[in-house]
Structure 1
Amino acid sequence: MSLHSSEFPAGAAARPAPLAARAVERAWRSVTLTRAVSLAVFAAVAAFILLTFRDYGISNDELVQHTYGELLIAWYASGFTDDRAFHYINLFLYGGLFDMIAAGLQNHIPIPVYEWRHLLSAGFGFMGLIGVWRLGKLLGGEKAGIVALLLLAFTGMYGGAMFTHTKDVPFAAAMVWSLYFITVLVARLPDLPSWRVIVGLGAAVGCALGLRVGGVFAVFYLLVTVGAGALVFRSVWLPFRLLPRLIVSGLVALAIMAVTWPWSMLPPSNLFKAMGAFNNFSFDLSTLFNGQLVPIDKIPSTYMTEYLLIKLPELTLFGILMALVAAAFSLMRLLRQGAVVEATALHPRRLVAFLPLLLAIGTPIVFTLLDGPPLYNGIRHFLFVIPPVTVLAALGLTAGWRLLWPRSRALGLGFAAVVTALFALNAVSLIRLHPYEYVAYNQLVGGTPGAWGRFEGDYWSSSLREAALDLRKGLDHEEAIAAVHTPHRYKVAVCAEDLQVSSYLGPNVDMVDDWDEADFLLTATNIGCDGAKGMPYATVSRMGIPFATVTDLRAGHKPVGQELPADEDGDDDIFAPSPNAPLVSSLKDAGPQVAKAKP
């Protein structure tokens, strides 16, 4: 089923066209080629996931999230008596769908637990890509589905976040599938939806609620769209005809939510407590916004909107602009040809079917503008807005092509050249940032280098993995040069969670909290840590931006028994300090962070 209009206006193909133009048209119209491209893109994304999921570091919250999943499993295993999960930090305010799957299968997956979590999270992200492809295909045809898929896969805050944002990306995937089934439901009005659609809708909304209470947004989209459908089809009985099937869908959603988030049903009023808690959630934390550290309860109401504007790829913004142009063009044609004539050409299903997409984009934006909830980490908490925005951009790009190509081959080729250049610009940036694609910014703020120090960077401190591996490589090199028979033990401190570096440092390292005792300090520059002076040992950088640093503290608190060896392997990121090297301290004024779960 698809609601898209014809690929080219009637009569366009009848005009004489050069051989190359006819070849382009044949390729564009080819169903076989379209499906082959779709399969190729999905295969490439799957290969990327399998080849790179080990590259991503452990995020700040993963330890507590995984523990929460284990506690939920323990509640079931104890016969519902071990209720530690319902009192664990603030995580009982979240559904445990992802963490329960991760914890429940960890003993059956032959890879380290956090690599398994990253692979599982990317799997959820892959399902979200399928959902975006299906939604784009439904609203704009197979070409729009492919464009939406490519745009989202090459959006840093989705394609690069799939591995580490283990709360946000699974939730976004569940929400886009909820949006897809809502759109299918209303696109078939006034006919009743199939039971497959009803069960799919319930499962998608239930999974969303089983991850975050924000799944209620999907319920809002559904109710508003059904009400709009009643108006469009002039049937006051339509909602009542739908009610029995919607009740079944609601029961499926509640069952999934109850299993994956049992606290929400013990008693059911807890669901509303969670909604109120997140609307007023705040703690002592500041976020970087336009060069200023702002307390999260004092951020401007435009925080999310501005981050969305500067985090989306340039091509996505261009697609949104083209969608507005196409809408304006259609409106002018409506006025020129006459409202009655044009209205008869537009089936009511097409009018109401686009409403869920617009609601999914507009509702969260309006909510943040009016309510001003405490936010941080940029767009992370509203990452679920990116898939519908991407679908809108894909519809705009395909509409722009269909408007321009039949009217002017030169304009059509110029449009294709602009799209290709913008896509390449973003793709090259993400390749250079790997595996930190999620920090990418567009050229409205000068790209990622221009945004660094002004807006949030590596807030998950995932670059500490690479810093730890650099330190381990450097220490192995030192001991090999010194021909040490008994490996020396080193004390390492980190301005983050110990787990984020201890997992990669090897057996001869002891993690310490007191920096005065440490031989080395590791910190991600986005955090900002102060108080330890030493010599630079290694730096993790991309595009000239320092993501994480390793500082050698040995000379500051005990004599060095021998001159440290120089680096001989040509690795610019690792070097032994010189006695004449300047003392350095890390960047900002925040001390070691206390472990806490972020909402």
Structure 2
Amino acid sequence: MIENKQKIIFYLLAVFMLAAMLLISRDAGISGDEEVHYKHSEMVYKYFSTLGKDQSSLNTPKTHLKYYGQTFDNLGTGLIHLFGIRDIYAFRHLMCSFAGWLTIVVTALFAAYFSGFGAAILVLILFAVSPGFMGHAQNNLKDIPFALAYISSVYFSLKLVFSETKPSRQTIILLILSIGLSIGIRAGGLLVLFYLGFFMLLKIGSDWFTNKKRHDQLLKKRLILLVGISLAGYLAGLISWPYALQNPVINPWKSYQVMIHFPTTVRQIFEGQFNWSDFHPWYYLPKYMAITIPIVVFSGIVAFLLNSNKKYNATQKVQLLLLAFTILFPIVYVILKNSNLYGSWRHFLFIYPGIILISALGIHAFFARFTQQLIRIPAILLLLALTIHPVRFMASNHPYYYLYYNQIAGGLKGAYGNYETDYYYHSMRDGAEWLLEYLKNKPDTGKTIVGGNFPIQWSFRKDPAVEFVYFPYQRRSEYNWDYAIIANSYIPPFQLKNHIWPPKNTIHTVFVDGIPICAVVERVTKDDFRGIQELKNGDHIKSALLFQKVIELDQQNELICYKFAESLIGLGDEERARQMLKRSLEINPDYEQALILMGDLAIKNKNLGDAANYYQKAIQANRKYFSVYPKLAGIWAESNVEKAREVLQDCLNLNPRYKPALEALAETYRKTDPETAAKYDKMINKLK
């Protein structure tokens, strides 16, 4: 009777949750990867609509998206074409929220499989108070559908393998579809095939050694079932993946190898440092999980560890251990592989349903074990208290749920400047919509150029008078624009902590918990843009005069100080140039170009120690600023050739094809070891 009531409550809550999630998705911005994945899905659509004649989806040297099956994106684009949907991104966000809801429901049914619908209800509640997942469920059509595919694959694999009767046709079909979706979204989905085989062989081995169902015919049937499901799931994953279809055996594996060490690297803030993503410390992933998952979820995991031993039978314990393995194995694997990770832990959202499941089972086991009101009531109050922090954040900061940091990090305020905020550019929509309203009240001046550090053309699609131009925030003065919308991404942590960003000419700021995540900027002068053009034309006098005027209006632009220094050097005024460079470094102490130019001036004045210091600071600020390595090596080439070679080798370890470093390294051997120099010369000649 109680179970039936819980079942009804579960389904009512699930329906309510679906309606809420679909409604919430209407306010979602376009996510950081969304435009590029949508464009690639259009290429995939053309590939199939032209029967393979259009090969654009196979030629993606910059995005590397041919290595993604991105089945869910492709499905969305197919539906968009089929039904003539115009509001593309609104539809995509509805699809994403539906996938997120399915993920929650499957996880809840997984909990019911172990402990009934009371545990399933707890799964719904824990997901509802998980800002990170609920935020990504608005517009992340890559990681959320993959989370659905992953937890579904694990769930139906365990149901199939540990079924005491013949597996149902429904379980087999859903498992095949889950495997297909996993592989079809990203090559890492091949992992679920390994899980299925591992689970099956473990069960067969266990039954064999315990003399349970020791029958060759049964073993044969199980192996046939394993092979059949694996093959069907694998082939299903390739259906909408052009690159995989070129060679169904080799290319998915090649894609998997690319995914392990994804070639795209970005600079992001972690522990207050602005580092390249392939140089984050090994604990990047577990640290981000620790500071962004709500504490209430962790409390459930603790409860599981303390109470599960008495709650479940031997078979259930084995299944729970295998579930834990599917959570922990990917984490350990990428740490050991030193994989390139960025964007918090969104690429690992696929393990979060398993974490929620363990937590919900833990809380359920606790209340099943302790029936005394003296224990239950304080426990309930404690759990409710732990939900306040994430619930308040979501209620106060809609729709920016994914920016949540828990109490370990000190909330978003404690994380600001130490960790990323709007790394997925959700706030650009708010900024664009505010600017559109603002422009309606401004005199019509013809074309308005809006710039930004993320493509937002879609927001201005109905206003032909607005033209968009993309630029990195640091280089904003190099571009012609009237207004700019800047998300809090790729902003140096020094500028965040010292309130240099948002800039002073900001006319609107999007705040989350009092933290600025997007700035709408009005340009007060274009003399900076004109000055840079004059500098390019070699007119140092005009450029210097223009930069002088700009600095009086904008005293927080490191690029202008740097460009002014270049003009002053052209005029022979190196002392003022150094002053401008120092001013640039006061605005951004890690500004590589200013550090390098200071080093160049020190070299010119034979201050080799100062020059080496500036060059080393530039490398510390950005180890991938390759042009500085030969400069630093040049200082030591005469006095300490081994140190010079070490510097150049450091450069070549990062970029083996960097010609200036190879040339400089060859020169260090030219007089003392001509044969080695000749080897490097051959390498240089082979470079295109």
Structure 2 equivalent of residue 441 of structure 1 = 405
Counterparts of 1:111 and 1:41 in 2: how far apart (Å)?
Answer: 32
Q: Paired residue for 1:80, among 52, 58, 71? A: 52
Q: Would the aligned equivalents of 1:225 and 1:355 in 2 still touch at CA under 8 Å?
A: no
Q: Paired residue for 1:187, among 141, 146, 162? A: 162
Q: 1:122-201 residue pairs with structure 2 within 5 A?
A: 122-189=97-164, 191-201=165-175
Q: C-alpha displacement at 1:95, in angstroms? A: 0.6
Structure 2 equivalent of residue 112 of structure 1 = 87
Letter in 2 for 1:447: G
Q: 1:290-305 residue pairs with structure 2 within 5 A?
A: 290-305=271-286
| Residue 379 of structure 2 corresponds to residue 415 of structure 1 | yes
Counterparts of 1:534 and 1:517 in 2: how far apart (Å)?
Answer: 19
Letter in 1 for 2:449: K
Q: C-alpha displacement at 1:62, in angstroms? A: 1.8
Q: C-alpha displacement at 1:551, in angstroms? A: 1.2
Deviations along 1:510-535, whole A, 9 cap, x unmatched? 22357452111111112328999661
Counterparts of 1:582 and 1:120 in 2: how far apart (Å)?
Answer: 44
| Residue 306 of structure 2 corresponds to residue 325 of structure 1 | yes
Q: 1:170-569 residue pairs with structure 2 within 5 A?
A: 170-189=145-164, 191-234=165-208, 240-267=220-247, 268-327=249-308, 330=310, 347-404=313-370, 406=371, 408-477=372-441, 479=442, 484=443, 486=444, 488-499=446-457, 501-503=459-461, 506-513=463-470, 515=477, 516-528=479-491, 535-555=505-525, 557=527
| Residue 30 of structure 2 corresponds to residue 33 of structure 1 | no
Q: Would the aligned equivalents of 1:137 and 1:144 in 2 still touch at CA under 8 Å?
A: yes
Counterparts of 2:285 and 2:19 in 1: how far apart (Å)?
Answer: 32
| Residue 70 of structure 2 corresponds to residue 90 of structure 1 | no
Letter in 2 for 1:193: P
Q: Would the aligned equivalents of 1:361 and 1:385 in 2 still touch at CA under 8 Å?
A: yes
| Residue 15 of structure 2 corresponds to residue 58 of structure 1 | no
Q: C-alpha displacement at 1:585, in angstroms? A: 5.5
Q: C-alpha displacement at 1:183, in angstroms? A: 1.8
| Residue 26 of structure 2 corresponds to residue 68 of structure 1 | no
Q: Would the aligned equivalents of 2:151 and 2:350 in 1 still touch at CA under 8 Å?
A: yes
Q: Would the aligned equivalents of 1:125 and 1:173 in 2 still touch at CA under 8 Å?
A: yes
**Structure 2 CA distance for partners of 1:353 and 1:512, relative to 1, 3 Å:** closer
Q: Would the aligned equivalents of 2:508 and 2:520 in 1 still touch at CA under 8 Å?
A: yes
Letter in 2 for 1:299: H
Q: C-alpha displacement at 1:369, in angstroms? A: 2.6
Structure 2 equivalent of residue 575 of structure 1 = none
**Structure 2 CA distance for partners of 1:416 and 1:38, relative to 1, 3 Å:** same
Q: C-alpha displacement at 1:382, in angstroms? A: 0.9
Task: Looking at secondary structure, tell me which structure has more helix per residue.
Answer: 2
Question: Whose radius of gyration is greater, 1 or 2?
Answer: 2
Q: Would the aligned equivalents of 1:521 and 1:551 in 2 still touch at CA under 8 Å?
A: yes
Q: C-alpha displacement at 1:179, in angstroms? A: 1.2
Counterparts of 1:438 and 1:50 in 2: how far apart (Å)?
Answer: 16
Deviations along 1:77-102, whole A, 9 cap, x unmatched? 11222222111231010113112112
**Structure 2 CA distance for partners of 1:141 and 1:581, relative to 1, 3 Å:** farther
Letter in 1 for 2:509: T
Q: C-alpha displacement at 1:507, in angstroms? A: 3.4
Counterparts of 2:39 and 2:52 in 1: how far apart (Å)?
Answer: 17
Q: Would the aligned equivalents of 1:94 and 1:261 in 2 still touch at CA under 8 Å?
A: yes
Counterparts of 1:422 and 1:539 in 2: how far apart (Å)?
Answer: 30
Q: Would the aligned equivalents of 2:291 and 2:409 in 1 still touch at CA under 8 Å?
A: yes
Q: Would the aligned equivalents of 1:136 and 1:144 in 2 still touch at CA under 8 Å?
A: yes
**Structure 2 CA distance for partners of 1:148 and 1:510, relative to 1, 3 Å:** same
Q: C-alpha displacement at 1:231, in angstroms? A: 3.7
Q: Would the aligned equivalents of 1:302 and 1:368 in 2 still touch at CA under 8 Å?
A: no
Q: C-alpha displacement at 1:590, in angstroms? A: 8.5
Letter in 1 for 2:144: V
Counterparts of 1:195 and 1:43 in 2: how far apart (Å)?
Answer: 26
Letter in 2 for 1:296: S
**Structure 2 CA distance for partners of 1:533 and 1:391, relative to 1, 3 Å:** closer
Q: Would the aligned equivalents of 1:192 and 1:242 in 2 still touch at CA under 8 Å?
A: no
Counterparts of 1:309 and 1:49 in 2: how far apart (Å)?
Answer: 25
Q: Would the aligned equivalents of 2:303 and 2:363 in 1 still touch at CA under 8 Å?
A: yes
Residue 550 of structure 1 aligns to a residue in which SS?
A: strand
Counterparts of 1:261 and 1:526 in 2: how far apart (Å)?
Answer: 31
Structure 1 equivalent of residue 667 of structure 2 = none
Q: C-alpha displacement at 1:555, in angstroms? A: 4.1
RMSD: 2.7
Counterparts of 2:522 and 2:362 in 1: how far apart (Å)?
Answer: 52
Letter in 2 for 1:72: V
Q: C-alpha displacement at 1:39, in angstroms? A: 2.4
Counterparts of 1:511 and 1:353 in 2: how far apart (Å)?
Answer: 53
Q: Would the aligned equivalents of 1:525 and 1:547 in 2 still touch at CA under 8 Å?
A: yes
Q: Would the aligned equivalents of 2:96 and 2:140 in 1 still touch at CA under 8 Å?
A: yes
Q: C-alpha displacement at 1:399, in angstroms? A: 0.9
Q: Would the aligned equivalents of 1:458 and 1:524 in 2 still touch at CA under 8 Å?
A: yes
- Could you tell me which runs of 5 or more consecutive residues in structure 2 were left unpaired when the two chains were aligned: 471-475, 496-500, 529-551, 559-586, 593-688
Q: Using CA pairs below 8 Å that are at least 6 residues apart, which structure has the higher relative contact order?
A: 1
Counterparts of 2:313 and 2:375 in 1: how far apart (Å)?
Answer: 30
Counterparts of 1:319 and 1:70 in 2: how far apart (Å)?
Answer: 43
- Between 1:492-501 and 1:69-78, the stretch displaced more is 492-501
**Structure 2 CA distance for partners of 1:109 and 1:142, relative to 1, 3 Å:** farther
Counterparts of 1:313 and 1:500 in 2: how far apart (Å)?
Answer: 34
Q: Would the aligned equivalents of 2:502 and 2:519 in 1 still touch at CA under 8 Å?
A: no
Counterparts of 1:444 and 1:420 in 2: how far apart (Å)?
Answer: 18
Q: C-alpha displacement at 1:197, in angstroms? A: 1.5
**Structure 2 CA distance for partners of 1:454 and 1:81, relative to 1, 3 Å:** same
Counterparts of 1:532 and 1:433 in 2: how far apart (Å)?
Answer: 19
